[in-house]
Amino acid sequence: MSEPFDIRQFPGLPPEVVKAFEAQQFELAVERAARQHEQAVGAEKDVFITELKALVEKLESQVADHRRTKFGPKSEKLSPDQLELALEDQETAIAETQQQIDEVQNKLDQLDKTAKDKKPRKPRKPRTLPEGLPRVERVINPENIVCPCGCGDMVKIGEDRSERLDVIPAQYQVVVTVRPKYACPKGRTGVVQAKAPAHLLENSWPTEALLAQITVAKFCDFNPLNRQSVAMARNGAPIDRSVLSDWMGRTGALIAPVVDHMAMLLLKGSTRLYVDETTAPVLDPGRGKTKTGYFWAVMRDDRGWNGPSPPGVVFHYRPGRNGKYAEEILKGFDGTIQVDAYGGYTALGTSKRVGGAPLKLAYCWSHGRRALIKAQPKAGSPIVDEALLQIAAIYKIEAEIRGLPAAQRRAVRQEKSCQLVDKFFVWLNAQAGRVSRKSELGKALAYMLRRQEGFRLFLDDGHVDMDSNLVENAIRSPAMTRRNTLFAGHDDGARCWARFASLIGTCRINGVEPYAYLLDLYTKLANGHLKKDIDTLMPWAYAAATSSQMSSPGTP
């Protein structure tokens, strides 16, 4: 780099020449500084662009993993609760990467001179918060509203509103019940005192509200009692886990008549039920290990054909999966059960059934489809692809007639679905002859072919659905509780668990907030409502009562 020219070496130059030269030197210095600044900014932008490209590649990879987990064949191999956990973590990672991209993009915009002329990126459209939540308005006024022109205070011409979701942390309090005693000052009469209020658990600390909260936390939010005990102590209420267990056990005994009555109503008032089972690990103290019990779910949901009966689900704990337990649970029921192809149900459809006439078994098309997907080789199979396309065509018709009356559903199925099902099983039989019976695919084809009668049953009965997905969704709640609790400590504890799961599961499918229902139930049980009218204690009765209260004139 050349040395800067020193004009002082020429003292005889005219002043105007010296002045012009100094001005030119100043402009060159400014231009040089601007060029150096641009080079520094360019280098910084290159760093940000490189970082941005890496983050975009990372985001694309995360999105691809999310799609593969949610929609790919592997999703069929994950249990529903495992799938939800996997998606939860992936979506969290995607959101984190998007936030990092936004931060880098903002830094680039600040460095870019033309960014000021660019239109600002549209912010994400905020989601509308539920109208039922209470609103607390916080008005923020300017520090000074005196008009600079001296005319006085400025006037309000409008406002901007934004909403954010807030929370009030849990706070425990002690309710002190005081019952003053009154007596005649002259001692002529006895003592007058108000009657003590009824409690669900007499001579115990918890109010019905606290019991409802503990129940919902464990059986709806899947938070075991030992964790609840730790949280309660942290918030100033040190209650031992064993005490919470005692409260839940006694409460479980008190709700038993309600759940038993609900189970009876499902059996007596239905012609079609869903039945499924899921494992319930139970501690086996003699061996120091866990044994495998089962929750048998019996569900009524007639919304598919617009039936009059409200939906409900009851879980029955049994120590095994033998078909005798299904027979015992369904004693007195006559009609159709929607099930998977587990062999324990087979005897219920024969003359060997004890406790009623043979049942009709409607098999689940989702299980048949799942068996085909599971048997598909890694390289793919045109047989599986074609089978899934044909099944999807039948499901498309089902989506169109959901909610229609049973007779209308049957008519549409006879007109449209019947020919598709006939074509499917003819095609399936032809493919089975081309595939080894010992292969996984051969077994999957035989799975559906051997049970054609049960798979076809929905065509002749508009009350029947194509699958048992509704009851599979219902058993996810006890499955999530199982994942967090690991096991039940005793068979009786598992039965108690099943009762709470029945009430909360029925609340869920009836659109009832579980805490509100349980608080109402516990309060009514404490006041002896069980003997007055047990039908009004059902979750669907609570749903109807609260709905009528909200719609009645003059209701606040």
371-376 long-range contacts (CB < 8 A, ≥24 apart) are 371/443, 371/444, 371/447, 371/448, 372/441, 372/444, 372/445, 373/73, 373/76, 374/76, 374/77, 374/440, 374/444, 375/439, 375/440, 375/441, 375/443, 375/444, 376/73, 376/441
Q: Which of the pair, 481 or 184, is modelled with greater confidence?
A: 184
Give the chain's mean pLDDT: 84
What is the pLDDT averaged over residues 122-135? Answer: 75
Which positions ≥6 away from 454 have C-beta within 8 Å?
341, 361, 362, 363
Which positions ≥6 away from 490 have C-beta within 8 Å?
282, 283
Residues paired with 339 in a beta bridge: 363
For the chain, the residue count is 556
The residue among 398, 387, 395 whose CA lies nearest residue 441 is: 387
pTM to 2 decimals?
0.77
Amino acid identity at 182 = Y
The structure tokens listed for 373 are 């997907």
The structure tokens listed for 336 are 């159709």
**Model confidence over 513-524: pLDDT tens digits?**
999 999 999 999
- Phi, psi of 388, rounded to the nearest 5 degrees: -65, -35
Please give the pLDDT value at position 357.
87
Task: Label residue 371 exposed, middle or buried (CB < 10 Å: 0-12, 13-18, 19+).
Answer: buried
DSSP per-residue string spanning 54-91:
HHHHHHHHHHHHHHHHHHSGGGGGS-HHHHHHHHHHHH
**Cα–Cα distance between 332 and 264 in angstroms, integer?**
9
**Model confidence over 56-97: pLDDT tens digits?**
887 777 777 777 777 766 545 555 555 665 666 677 777 777
Q: Strand, coil or helix: what is 555? A: coil
**Model confidence over 465-498: pLDDT tens digits?**
999 999 988 887 766 655 555 455 566 778 888 9
Amino acid identity at 195 = K
CB-side neighbour CA atoms (13 Å) of 438: 0
Model confidence at 283: pLDDT above 70: no
The structure tokens listed for 16 are 């105007």
The structure tokens listed for 79 are 């249990």
First to last CA, the chain: 85
86-91 long-range contacts (CB < 8 A, ≥24 apart) are 90/62, 90/65, 90/66, 91/66
Please give the pLDDT value at position 405.
95
Report yes or no: 308 and 302 within 8 Å, Cβ to Cβ.
yes
